[in-house]
Chain A
Protein backbone atom coordinates (compact mmCIF):
# COMPACT_ATOMS: atom_id res chain seq x y z
CA UNK A 1 0.00 0.00 0.00
CA UNK A 2 1.45 3.30 -1.14
CA UNK A 3 -0.79 5.94 0.40
CA UNK A 4 -2.79 5.59 3.57
CA UNK A 5 -5.03 8.20 5.22
CA UNK A 6 -5.85 7.60 8.86
CA UNK A 7 -8.59 9.78 10.33
CA UNK A 8 -7.36 12.79 8.42
CA UNK A 9 -8.84 16.19 9.13
CA UNK A 10 -7.83 19.37 7.40
CA UNK A 11 -8.75 22.86 8.50
CA UNK A 12 -8.10 25.98 6.44
CA UNK A 13 -7.50 29.09 8.46
CA UNK A 14 -9.52 31.77 6.71
CA UNK A 15 -8.31 35.33 6.26
CA UNK A 16 -11.11 36.54 8.50
CA UNK A 17 -9.95 34.17 11.21
CA UNK A 18 -12.73 31.64 10.85
CA UNK A 19 -11.49 28.09 10.45
CA UNK A 20 -12.97 25.95 7.70
CA UNK A 21 -13.00 22.19 7.99
CA UNK A 22 -12.34 20.93 4.47
CA UNK A 23 -11.61 17.26 5.25
CA UNK A 24 -13.42 15.27 7.92
CA UNK A 25 -12.04 12.02 9.29
CA UNK A 26 -10.84 10.62 6.01
CA UNK A 27 -9.79 6.97 5.99
CA UNK A 28 -8.46 5.77 2.67
CA UNK A 29 -5.91 3.41 1.19
CA UNK A 30 -4.47 3.64 -2.29
CA UNK A 31 -2.33 0.89 -3.74
CA UNK A 32 0.82 1.57 -5.70
CA UNK A 33 -0.14 -0.77 -8.49
CA UNK A 34 -3.16 -1.69 -10.48
CA UNK A 35 -5.71 0.97 -9.62
CA UNK A 36 -7.47 3.36 -11.97
CA UNK A 37 -9.35 5.66 -9.64
CA UNK A 38 -11.62 8.63 -10.26
CA UNK A 39 -12.33 11.12 -7.50
CA UNK A 40 -15.55 13.06 -7.89
CA UNK A 41 -17.95 15.21 -5.90
CA UNK A 42 -19.59 18.60 -5.93
CA UNK A 43 -17.56 21.80 -6.19
CA UNK A 44 -15.95 22.67 -2.88
CA UNK A 45 -16.33 19.16 -1.47
CA UNK A 46 -12.61 18.77 -0.73
CA UNK A 47 -11.19 16.89 -3.72
CA UNK A 48 -8.25 19.18 -4.40
CA UNK A 49 -7.51 19.42 -0.70
CA UNK A 50 -7.48 15.63 -0.44
CA UNK A 51 -5.05 15.03 -3.30
CA UNK A 52 -2.67 17.74 -2.10
CA UNK A 53 -2.11 15.50 0.91
CA UNK A 54 -0.98 12.70 -1.35
CA UNK A 55 2.41 14.23 -2.02
CA UNK A 56 2.59 16.17 1.25
CA UNK A 57 1.96 19.58 -0.32
CA UNK A 58 -0.25 20.12 2.69
CA UNK A 59 -0.23 18.21 5.96
CA UNK A 60 -3.19 16.97 7.93
CA UNK A 61 -4.40 19.18 10.78
CA UNK A 62 -5.03 15.98 12.67
CA UNK A 63 -4.70 12.33 11.80
CA UNK A 64 -1.99 10.90 9.62
CA UNK A 65 -1.10 10.37 5.99
CA UNK A 66 1.43 7.66 5.28
CA UNK A 67 3.15 7.80 1.91
CA UNK A 68 5.50 4.95 1.02
CA UNK A 69 6.07 4.36 4.70
CA UNK A 70 6.79 8.01 5.50
CA UNK A 71 4.41 9.32 8.10
CA UNK A 72 3.17 12.84 7.54
CA UNK A 73 1.62 14.48 10.55
CA UNK A 74 0.97 17.98 11.78
CA UNK A 75 3.38 17.49 14.71
CA UNK A 76 6.17 16.72 12.30
CA UNK A 77 5.67 19.99 10.49
CA UNK A 78 9.35 20.35 9.82
CA UNK A 79 9.71 16.91 8.27
CA UNK A 80 12.83 17.57 6.25
CA UNK A 81 12.80 18.44 2.59
CA UNK A 82 15.23 15.63 1.85
CA UNK A 83 12.53 13.21 2.77
CA UNK A 84 9.80 14.81 0.70
CA UNK A 85 11.72 15.21 -2.54
CA UNK A 86 11.86 11.52 -3.56
CA UNK A 87 8.29 11.21 -2.48
CA UNK A 88 7.22 13.96 -4.86
CA UNK A 89 8.91 12.17 -7.69
CA UNK A 90 7.07 8.97 -6.86
CA UNK A 91 3.72 10.70 -6.75
CA UNK A 92 3.22 13.15 -9.57
CA UNK A 93 0.47 15.69 -9.00
CA UNK A 94 -1.00 17.80 -11.80
CA UNK A 95 -2.76 20.88 -10.41
CA UNK A 96 -6.29 21.92 -11.22
CA UNK A 97 -5.04 25.32 -12.44
CA UNK A 98 -2.09 25.01 -14.81
CA UNK A 99 -1.04 28.57 -14.00
CA UNK A 100 0.01 27.42 -10.53
CA UNK A 101 2.40 24.98 -12.09
CA UNK A 102 3.97 26.85 -14.98
CA UNK A 103 6.76 29.28 -14.26
CA UNK A 104 9.75 28.86 -16.57
CA UNK A 105 10.54 31.01 -19.57
CA UNK A 106 9.89 28.34 -22.13
CA UNK A 107 7.68 25.30 -22.28
CA UNK A 108 10.75 23.14 -22.73
CA UNK A 109 12.42 24.44 -19.58
CA UNK A 110 9.19 24.07 -17.72
CA UNK A 111 8.89 20.41 -18.63
CA UNK A 112 12.60 19.79 -17.94
CA UNK A 113 12.43 21.34 -14.47
CA UNK A 114 10.79 18.38 -12.72
CA UNK A 115 13.05 15.62 -14.01
CA UNK A 116 16.21 17.70 -13.48
CA UNK A 117 15.10 18.50 -9.96
CA UNK A 118 15.09 14.77 -9.35
CA UNK A 119 18.59 14.28 -10.70
CA UNK A 120 17.96 13.44 -14.35
CA UNK A 121 20.62 14.78 -16.71
CA UNK A 122 19.94 17.78 -18.89
CA UNK A 123 20.20 15.74 -22.10
CA UNK A 124 17.78 13.13 -20.83
CA UNK A 125 15.36 15.82 -19.60
CA UNK A 126 15.49 17.50 -23.02
CA UNK A 127 14.76 14.19 -24.68
CA UNK A 128 11.82 13.57 -22.39
CA UNK A 129 10.41 17.05 -23.01
CA UNK A 130 10.37 16.36 -26.72
CA UNK A 131 8.58 13.07 -26.16
CA UNK A 132 5.95 14.16 -23.68
CA UNK A 133 4.96 17.33 -25.52
CA UNK A 134 3.86 15.15 -28.40
CA UNK A 135 2.13 12.69 -26.10
CA UNK A 136 -0.14 15.49 -24.88
CA UNK A 137 -1.00 16.45 -28.43
CA UNK A 138 1.18 19.49 -29.05
CA UNK A 139 3.78 19.88 -31.77
CA UNK A 140 7.43 20.19 -30.77
CA UNK A 141 7.30 23.82 -31.93
CA UNK A 142 5.55 24.61 -28.65
CA UNK A 143 8.76 23.83 -26.72
CA UNK A 144 10.21 27.24 -27.53
CA UNK A 145 7.04 29.13 -26.63
CA UNK A 146 6.42 30.87 -23.32
CA UNK A 147 4.04 28.79 -21.19
CA UNK A 148 2.14 31.96 -20.29
CA UNK A 149 1.23 32.90 -23.84
CA UNK A 150 -0.81 29.83 -24.57
CA UNK A 151 -4.52 29.10 -24.78
CA UNK A 152 -6.24 27.53 -21.75
CA UNK A 153 -6.24 24.03 -23.19
CA UNK A 154 -2.64 24.32 -24.35
CA UNK A 155 -1.53 25.33 -20.85
CA UNK A 156 -3.36 22.37 -19.42
CA UNK A 157 -1.56 20.04 -21.78
CA UNK A 158 1.85 21.53 -20.92
CA UNK A 159 1.19 21.16 -17.19
CA UNK A 160 0.35 17.49 -17.72
CA UNK A 161 3.46 17.01 -19.87
CA UNK A 162 5.62 18.39 -17.05
CA UNK A 163 4.44 15.72 -14.65
CA UNK A 164 4.60 12.89 -17.17
CA UNK A 165 8.25 13.80 -17.80
CA UNK A 166 8.99 12.97 -14.16
CA UNK A 167 7.80 9.41 -14.80
CA UNK A 168 6.12 9.13 -11.40
CA UNK A 169 4.97 5.80 -9.97
CA UNK A 170 1.56 7.15 -9.15
CA UNK A 171 -0.11 9.74 -11.32
CA UNK A 172 -2.58 12.08 -9.61
CA UNK A 173 -4.41 14.48 -11.92
CA UNK A 174 -6.70 17.25 -10.67
CA UNK A 175 -9.29 17.80 -13.42
CA UNK A 176 -6.86 17.08 -16.26
CA UNK A 177 -9.56 17.12 -18.91
CA UNK A 178 -11.44 20.31 -18.03
CA UNK A 179 -10.78 22.81 -20.78
CA UNK A 180 -9.67 20.22 -23.28
CA UNK A 181 -11.47 19.85 -26.57
CA UNK A 182 -13.40 16.56 -26.88
CA UNK A 183 -10.78 14.88 -29.04
CA UNK A 184 -7.99 15.99 -26.70
CA UNK A 185 -9.95 14.77 -23.70
CA UNK A 186 -10.35 11.29 -25.22
CA UNK A 187 -6.74 11.13 -26.34
CA UNK A 188 -5.40 12.10 -22.94
CA UNK A 189 -7.63 9.64 -21.11
CA UNK A 190 -6.36 6.95 -23.47
CA UNK A 191 -2.82 8.11 -22.73
CA UNK A 192 -3.35 7.78 -18.97
CA UNK A 193 -4.90 4.38 -19.51
CA UNK A 194 -1.98 3.24 -21.63
CA UNK A 195 0.51 4.39 -18.98
CA UNK A 196 -1.55 2.47 -16.44
CA UNK A 197 -1.68 -0.63 -18.64
CA UNK A 198 1.98 -0.60 -19.55
CA UNK A 199 3.42 -0.26 -16.06
CA UNK A 200 0.36 -1.26 -14.03
CA UNK A 201 0.80 2.05 -12.21
CA UNK A 202 -2.01 3.56 -10.22
CA UNK A 203 -3.70 6.57 -11.76
CA UNK A 204 -6.06 8.87 -9.87
CA UNK A 205 -8.14 11.43 -11.77
CA UNK A 206 -10.40 14.14 -10.37
CA UNK A 207 -13.23 14.85 -12.75
CA UNK A 208 -16.77 16.15 -13.09
CA UNK A 209 -17.31 13.97 -16.16
CA UNK A 210 -19.34 10.89 -15.30
CA UNK A 211 -18.40 9.29 -18.64
CA UNK A 212 -14.77 9.22 -17.54
CA UNK A 213 -15.82 7.48 -14.32
CA UNK A 214 -17.93 4.92 -16.14
CA UNK A 215 -15.61 4.22 -19.06
CA UNK A 216 -12.25 4.19 -17.30
CA UNK A 217 -12.35 3.77 -13.55
CA UNK A 218 -12.11 0.52 -11.62
CA UNK A 219 -12.77 2.42 -8.40
CA UNK A 220 -14.54 5.66 -7.67
CA UNK A 221 -14.30 7.90 -4.62
CA UNK A 222 -17.00 10.46 -3.88
CA UNK A 223 -16.43 13.48 -1.67
CA UNK A 224 -19.29 15.45 -0.17
CA UNK A 225 -18.86 18.35 2.21
CA UNK A 226 -15.45 17.14 3.38
CA UNK A 227 -16.55 13.53 3.87
CA UNK A 228 -15.59 10.54 1.81
CA UNK A 229 -19.09 9.22 1.20
CA UNK A 230 -18.48 6.50 -1.38
CA UNK A 231 -15.57 4.21 -2.19
CA UNK A 232 -16.43 1.44 -4.59
CA UNK A 233 -17.23 0.38 -8.13
CA UNK A 234 -18.62 2.88 -10.64
CA UNK A 235 -21.54 0.64 -11.54
CA UNK A 236 -22.63 0.53 -7.91
CA UNK A 237 -22.32 4.28 -7.60
CA UNK A 238 -24.55 4.91 -10.59
CA UNK A 239 -27.17 2.59 -9.16
CA UNK A 240 -27.11 4.46 -5.86
CA UNK A 241 -30.22 6.45 -4.96
CA UNK A 242 -27.92 9.04 -3.37
CA UNK A 243 -26.32 10.00 -6.68
CA UNK A 244 -28.25 13.21 -7.27
CA UNK A 245 -28.04 14.29 -3.63
CA UNK A 246 -24.28 14.41 -4.16
CA UNK A 247 -24.79 16.71 -7.18
CA UNK A 248 -23.74 13.96 -9.56
CA UNK A 249 -25.55 12.42 -12.51
CA UNK A 250 -25.48 9.35 -14.72
CA UNK A 251 -23.01 8.80 -17.52
CA UNK A 252 -24.40 9.42 -21.01
CA UNK A 253 -24.57 5.77 -21.99
CA UNK A 254 -26.58 4.73 -18.94
CA UNK A 255 -28.82 7.74 -19.34
CA UNK A 256 -29.36 6.90 -23.00
CA UNK A 257 -30.22 3.27 -22.24
CA UNK A 258 -32.68 4.31 -19.53
CA UNK A 259 -34.41 6.77 -21.82
CA UNK A 260 -34.49 4.35 -24.73
CA UNK A 261 -36.12 1.71 -22.56
CA UNK A 262 -38.72 4.28 -21.66
CA UNK A 263 -39.35 5.63 -25.14
CA UNK A 264 -38.80 2.62 -27.39
CA UNK A 265 -39.79 -0.11 -25.05
CA UNK A 266 -36.52 -2.00 -25.39
CA UNK A 267 -34.69 -3.44 -22.45
CA UNK A 268 -31.05 -3.95 -21.63
CA UNK A 269 -30.05 -6.84 -19.44
CA UNK A 270 -27.13 -4.87 -18.11
CA UNK A 271 -25.72 -1.52 -19.02
CA UNK A 272 -23.28 -1.70 -21.93
CA UNK A 273 -19.99 0.19 -22.04
CA UNK A 274 -20.08 0.46 -25.77
CA UNK A 275 -22.60 2.23 -28.00
CA UNK A 276 -22.33 -0.63 -30.50
CA UNK A 277 -24.26 -2.83 -28.07
CA UNK A 278 -27.10 -0.33 -28.19
CA UNK A 279 -26.95 -0.26 -31.97
CA UNK A 280 -27.14 -4.06 -32.06
CA UNK A 281 -30.02 -4.11 -29.60
CA UNK A 282 -32.06 -1.63 -31.62
CA UNK A 283 -31.19 -3.43 -34.83
CA UNK A 284 -32.47 -6.70 -33.38
CA UNK A 285 -35.66 -5.01 -32.17
CA UNK A 286 -36.16 -3.28 -35.49
CA UNK A 287 -36.11 -6.47 -37.49
CA UNK A 288 -38.43 -8.31 -35.14
Chain B
Protein backbone atom coordinates (compact mmCIF):
# COMPACT_ATOMS: atom_id res chain seq x y z
CA UNK B 1 0.00 0.00 0.00
CA UNK B 2 1.20 3.46 -0.81
CA UNK B 3 2.64 5.47 2.08
CA UNK B 4 1.79 8.81 0.54
CA UNK B 5 -1.17 8.89 -1.79
CA UNK B 6 -2.71 11.77 -3.70
CA UNK B 7 -6.00 11.18 -5.40
CA UNK B 8 -7.18 13.72 -7.95
CA UNK B 9 -5.80 16.70 -6.05
CA UNK B 10 -6.36 20.20 -7.40
CA UNK B 11 -5.36 23.56 -6.03
CA UNK B 12 -5.42 27.20 -7.01
CA UNK B 13 -4.16 30.33 -5.28
CA UNK B 14 -6.37 32.62 -7.33
CA UNK B 15 -9.85 31.85 -8.53
CA UNK B 16 -10.05 30.08 -11.89
CA UNK B 17 -6.27 29.84 -12.19
CA UNK B 18 -5.51 26.23 -11.32
CA UNK B 19 -1.94 25.67 -10.20
CA UNK B 20 -2.25 21.93 -9.62
CA UNK B 21 -4.67 19.94 -11.72
CA UNK B 22 -5.98 16.48 -10.85
CA UNK B 23 -2.76 15.20 -9.36
CA UNK B 24 -2.82 11.49 -8.59
CA UNK B 25 0.30 9.79 -7.38
CA UNK B 26 1.62 7.24 -4.97
CA UNK B 27 4.87 7.10 -3.04
CA UNK B 28 5.90 3.93 -1.22
CA UNK B 29 7.50 3.72 2.16
CA UNK B 30 11.27 3.83 1.85
CA UNK B 31 11.22 5.43 -1.60
CA UNK B 32 13.41 8.34 -2.60
CA UNK B 33 11.40 10.34 -5.10
CA UNK B 34 12.54 13.40 -7.03
CA UNK B 35 10.00 15.95 -8.13
CA UNK B 36 11.19 17.81 -11.21
CA UNK B 37 9.63 20.41 -13.47
CA UNK B 38 9.95 23.89 -14.91
CA UNK B 39 9.82 27.03 -12.76
CA UNK B 40 6.25 27.55 -11.68
CA UNK B 41 5.17 23.99 -12.47
CA UNK B 42 3.77 23.55 -8.95
CA UNK B 43 6.47 21.62 -7.07
CA UNK B 44 6.62 23.79 -3.94
CA UNK B 45 2.85 24.07 -3.90
CA UNK B 46 2.61 20.30 -3.90
CA UNK B 47 5.04 20.08 -1.00
CA UNK B 48 3.00 22.61 0.99
CA UNK B 49 -0.16 20.59 0.40
CA UNK B 50 1.54 17.53 1.91
CA UNK B 51 2.10 19.33 5.22
CA UNK B 52 -1.31 21.02 5.12
CA UNK B 53 0.22 24.47 4.91
CA UNK B 54 -2.09 24.79 1.94
CA UNK B 55 -5.36 22.95 1.66
CA UNK B 56 -6.35 21.13 -1.52
CA UNK B 57 -9.46 22.50 -3.23
CA UNK B 58 -10.35 19.08 -4.51
CA UNK B 59 -9.25 15.50 -4.03
CA UNK B 60 -7.70 13.67 -1.11
CA UNK B 61 -4.25 13.19 0.35
CA UNK B 62 -3.49 10.16 2.48
CA UNK B 63 -0.34 9.66 4.51
CA UNK B 64 0.37 6.37 6.21
CA UNK B 65 -3.25 5.38 5.76
CA UNK B 66 -4.65 8.54 7.35
CA UNK B 67 -6.58 11.09 5.33
CA UNK B 68 -5.11 14.57 5.66
CA UNK B 69 -7.69 16.93 7.18
CA UNK B 70 -7.64 19.82 9.59
CA UNK B 71 -8.12 17.30 12.39
CA UNK B 72 -5.34 14.93 11.40
CA UNK B 73 -2.88 17.56 10.15
CA UNK B 74 -1.10 18.10 13.45
CA UNK B 75 -0.36 14.43 13.91
CA UNK B 76 0.65 13.92 10.31
CA UNK B 77 2.99 16.88 10.43
CA UNK B 78 4.93 15.13 13.16
CA UNK B 79 5.88 12.50 10.63
CA UNK B 80 7.19 15.02 8.10
CA UNK B 81 10.25 17.24 8.10
CA UNK B 82 10.44 19.84 5.34
CA UNK B 83 13.24 22.13 4.21
CA UNK B 84 11.60 25.07 2.48
CA UNK B 85 12.92 26.47 -0.78
CA UNK B 86 13.74 29.79 0.84
CA UNK B 87 15.65 29.11 4.06
CA UNK B 88 14.62 32.53 5.41
CA UNK B 89 11.07 31.18 5.64
CA UNK B 90 12.34 28.41 7.85
CA UNK B 91 13.99 30.43 10.56
CA UNK B 92 12.13 31.17 13.77
CA UNK B 93 14.90 31.15 16.34
CA UNK B 94 17.11 34.01 17.46
CA UNK B 95 20.21 31.87 17.12
CA UNK B 96 21.21 28.99 14.90
CA UNK B 97 21.03 26.78 17.95
CA UNK B 98 17.43 27.76 18.76
CA UNK B 99 16.58 27.17 15.20
CA UNK B 100 17.86 23.64 15.05
CA UNK B 101 16.08 22.99 18.36
CA UNK B 102 12.73 24.30 17.17
CA UNK B 103 11.55 21.27 15.20
CA UNK B 104 12.63 18.91 17.95
CA UNK B 105 10.80 20.96 20.59
CA UNK B 106 7.63 20.60 18.56
CA UNK B 107 8.15 16.87 18.62
CA UNK B 108 8.53 17.06 22.42
CA UNK B 109 12.06 15.64 22.54
CA UNK B 110 13.52 15.96 26.03
CA UNK B 111 16.06 18.69 26.69
CA UNK B 112 19.10 16.44 26.97
CA UNK B 113 18.32 14.74 23.69
CA UNK B 114 17.77 18.09 21.98
CA UNK B 115 21.14 19.41 23.15
CA UNK B 116 22.91 16.30 22.10
CA UNK B 117 21.31 16.31 18.66
CA UNK B 118 22.06 20.03 18.10
CA UNK B 119 25.68 19.08 18.70
CA UNK B 120 25.62 16.09 16.35
CA UNK B 121 23.76 17.68 13.47
CA UNK B 122 25.42 21.09 13.50
CA UNK B 123 28.73 19.24 13.24
CA UNK B 124 27.37 17.07 10.49
CA UNK B 125 26.64 20.08 8.27
CA UNK B 126 29.79 21.96 9.39
CA UNK B 127 27.91 24.71 11.18
CA UNK B 128 28.98 23.90 14.71
CA UNK B 129 31.03 27.07 15.17
CA UNK B 130 28.00 29.18 14.15
CA UNK B 131 25.54 27.96 16.81
CA UNK B 132 25.39 31.32 18.61
CA UNK B 133 25.00 33.33 15.42
CA UNK B 134 21.82 34.86 14.12
CA UNK B 135 20.46 32.75 11.23
CA UNK B 136 19.63 35.82 9.16
CA UNK B 137 23.27 36.91 9.22
CA UNK B 138 24.56 33.76 7.58
CA UNK B 139 25.59 33.37 3.96
CA UNK B 140 23.09 31.76 1.57
CA UNK B 141 24.65 28.32 1.67
CA UNK B 142 25.12 28.45 5.45
CA UNK B 143 21.41 29.17 5.84
CA UNK B 144 20.62 26.13 3.76
CA UNK B 145 22.91 23.95 5.84
CA UNK B 146 21.29 25.11 9.08
CA UNK B 147 17.84 24.43 7.67
CA UNK B 148 18.95 20.92 6.69
CA UNK B 149 20.45 20.24 10.13
CA UNK B 150 17.18 21.22 11.80
CA UNK B 151 15.23 18.74 9.69
CA UNK B 152 17.71 15.89 9.99
CA UNK B 153 17.69 16.32 13.77
CA UNK B 154 13.94 15.71 13.90
CA UNK B 155 14.34 12.15 12.71
CA UNK B 156 10.92 12.06 10.99
CA UNK B 157 9.74 9.19 8.78
CA UNK B 158 9.25 11.46 5.81
CA UNK B 159 11.69 14.17 4.69
CA UNK B 160 10.99 16.76 2.01
CA UNK B 161 13.84 18.84 0.59
CA UNK B 162 12.62 21.72 -1.59
CA UNK B 163 15.72 22.76 -3.56
CA UNK B 164 17.60 22.46 -0.30
CA UNK B 165 21.04 22.40 -1.93
CA UNK B 166 20.56 25.06 -4.61
CA UNK B 167 23.11 27.42 -3.05
CA UNK B 168 25.70 24.91 -1.87
CA UNK B 169 29.19 24.50 -3.24
CA UNK B 170 29.86 21.20 -5.04
CA UNK B 171 31.52 19.52 -2.06
CA UNK B 172 28.77 20.46 0.40
CA UNK B 173 26.14 19.36 -2.07
CA UNK B 174 27.76 15.94 -2.40
CA UNK B 175 27.90 15.68 1.35
CA UNK B 176 24.17 16.35 1.70
CA UNK B 177 23.46 13.81 -1.04
CA UNK B 178 25.40 11.25 1.00
CA UNK B 179 23.26 12.01 4.06
CA UNK B 180 20.13 11.48 2.01
CA UNK B 181 21.44 8.16 0.71
CA UNK B 182 22.06 7.15 4.29
CA UNK B 183 18.54 8.18 5.31
CA UNK B 184 17.13 6.07 2.53
CA UNK B 185 19.18 3.13 3.74
CA UNK B 186 17.60 3.65 7.17
CA UNK B 187 14.18 3.25 5.58
CA UNK B 188 13.07 6.89 5.51
CA UNK B 189 10.78 8.12 2.77
CA UNK B 190 12.34 11.02 0.93
CA UNK B 191 11.09 13.62 -1.51
CA UNK B 192 13.63 15.91 -3.12
CA UNK B 193 12.53 18.78 -5.31
CA UNK B 194 15.38 19.82 -7.58
CA UNK B 195 16.52 21.28 -10.89
CA UNK B 196 19.78 19.39 -10.67
CA UNK B 197 19.77 16.16 -12.66
CA UNK B 198 22.86 14.98 -10.75
CA UNK B 199 20.72 14.92 -7.65
CA UNK B 200 17.70 13.45 -9.38
CA UNK B 201 19.62 10.46 -10.72
CA UNK B 202 20.40 9.36 -7.18
CA UNK B 203 16.73 8.90 -6.33
CA UNK B 204 14.92 5.74 -7.36
CA UNK B 205 11.73 7.31 -8.66
CA UNK B 206 10.89 10.48 -10.50
CA UNK B 207 7.80 12.60 -10.89
CA UNK B 208 7.80 15.32 -13.52
CA UNK B 209 5.35 18.16 -13.16
CA UNK B 210 4.47 20.29 -16.13
CA UNK B 211 2.05 23.22 -15.89
CA UNK B 212 0.48 21.79 -12.76
CA UNK B 213 -0.01 18.28 -14.10
CA UNK B 214 1.91 15.06 -13.69
CA UNK B 215 3.72 14.68 -17.01
CA UNK B 216 5.50 11.48 -16.10
CA UNK B 217 6.12 9.27 -13.13
CA UNK B 218 8.32 6.23 -12.84
CA UNK B 219 11.71 4.63 -12.71
CA UNK B 220 14.66 7.03 -12.68
CA UNK B 221 16.55 5.45 -15.58
CA UNK B 222 13.53 5.38 -17.82
CA UNK B 223 12.75 9.04 -17.22
CA UNK B 224 16.22 10.56 -17.12
CA UNK B 225 17.17 8.97 -20.45
CA UNK B 226 14.06 10.28 -22.19
CA UNK B 227 15.22 13.44 -23.92
CA UNK B 228 11.85 14.43 -25.34
CA UNK B 229 10.13 14.08 -22.00
CA UNK B 230 12.79 16.10 -20.19
CA UNK B 231 12.73 18.88 -22.74
CA UNK B 232 8.97 19.24 -22.40
CA UNK B 233 9.37 20.46 -18.84
CA UNK B 234 12.56 22.55 -19.31
CA UNK B 235 14.82 19.78 -18.01
CA UNK B 236 17.98 18.29 -19.51
CA UNK B 237 19.90 15.10 -20.08
CA UNK B 238 22.96 14.59 -17.91
CA UNK B 239 26.08 15.00 -20.00
CA UNK B 240 27.04 11.30 -20.28
CA UNK B 241 23.43 10.53 -21.24
CA UNK B 242 23.45 13.34 -23.76
CA UNK B 243 26.53 11.73 -25.24
CA UNK B 244 24.75 8.38 -25.30
CA UNK B 245 21.84 9.98 -27.11
CA UNK B 246 24.13 11.62 -29.68
CA UNK B 247 26.07 8.42 -30.29
CA UNK B 248 22.84 6.55 -30.91
CA UNK B 249 21.96 9.16 -33.49
CA UNK B 250 25.33 8.48 -35.09
CA UNK B 251 24.50 4.78 -35.08
CA UNK B 252 27.10 4.03 -32.48
CA UNK B 253 25.62 2.02 -29.71
CA UNK B 254 26.50 -1.13 -27.95
CA UNK B 255 25.45 -2.34 -24.57
CA UNK B 256 28.86 -1.99 -22.99
CA UNK B 257 29.23 1.65 -23.98
CA UNK B 258 25.67 2.32 -22.87
CA UNK B 259 26.37 0.78 -19.48
CA UNK B 260 29.59 2.74 -19.05
CA UNK B 261 27.85 6.03 -19.81
CA UNK B 262 24.99 5.18 -17.47
CA UNK B 263 27.47 4.44 -14.70
CA UNK B 264 29.27 7.70 -15.38
CA UNK B 265 26.02 9.63 -15.11
CA UNK B 266 25.24 7.97 -11.78
CA UNK B 267 28.48 9.31 -10.37
CA UNK B 268 28.40 12.65 -12.13
Contact = CB atoms under 8 A, between A and B. Distances in A.
A178 B167 contact: yes
A48, A151, A286: most-surrounded residue (chain B CB, <10 A):
A151
Contacts of A210: 170
A190 B13 CA distance: 33
A15 interface: yes
A259 interface: yes
A180 B133 contact: no
Given A180-B39, A256-B240, A43 B141 contact: yes
Contacts of A149: 13
A83 interface: no
B240 A263 contact: no
A12 B171 CA distance: 26
B88 interface: yes
B260 A263 contact: yes
Interface string B162-175: 01001111111100
B138 A179 contact: no
Interface residue SS majority, chain A? helix
Interface string A26-63: 00000000000000111110011000000000000000
A224 to B, nearest CB: 10
Interface stretch (B71-79, B105-113, B179-187, B244-252): B244-252
A40 B171 CA distance: 13
A183 B169 contact: no
Given A43-B139, A152-B85, A252-B268, A16 B132 contact: yes
Interface stretch (B62-70, B151-159, B220-228, B231-239): B231-239
Interface in A206-243: 208, 210
B215 interface: no
B39 A97 contact: no
Nearest to B260: A263
Given A43-B141, A181-B39, A99 B86 contact: yes
B90 to A, nearest CB: 13
A247 B134 contact: no
Interface string A6-19: 00000010111000
A42 B172 contact: yes
Interface residues of B, number: 49
Contacts of B93: none
Interface residues of A, number: 51
B122 interface: no
A122 to B, nearest CB: 27
Nearest to B235: A182
Interface string B30-60: 0000000111100010000000000000000
B172 A247 contact: yes
B44 A151 contact: yes
B163 to A, nearest CB: 6
Contact of A152 (B39, B145, B168, B235): B39
Contacts of B250: 279, 283
A87 interface: no
A261 to B, nearest CB: 12
Contact of B246 (A41, A247, A253, A275): A275
B264 interface: yes
Contact of A249 (B137, B141, B170, B246): B170
B234 A182 contact: yes
A43 B134 contact: no
B243 interface: yes
Contacts of A248: 169-171
15 contacts: A14-B137, A42-B171, A42-B172, A43-B139, A44-B139, A44-B141, A48-B140, A97-B86, A99-B86, A151-B40, A153-B40, A175-B140, A181-B195, A247-B170, A286-B252
Given A152-B86, A181-B235, 20 more contacts: A14-B133, A15-B133, A42-B141, A43-B142, A44-B141, A96-B140, A149-B13, A151-B39, A151-B40, A152-B44, A153-B39, A157-B39, A175-B167, A182-B235, A247-B172, A249-B171, A255-B268, A260-B264, A275-B239, A283-B247
Interface of B: 13, 37-40, 44, 85-86, 88, 132-134, 137-142, 144-145, 163, 166-173, 195, 197, 231, 233-236, 238-240, 242-243, 246-247, 250, 252, 257, 260, 264, 268
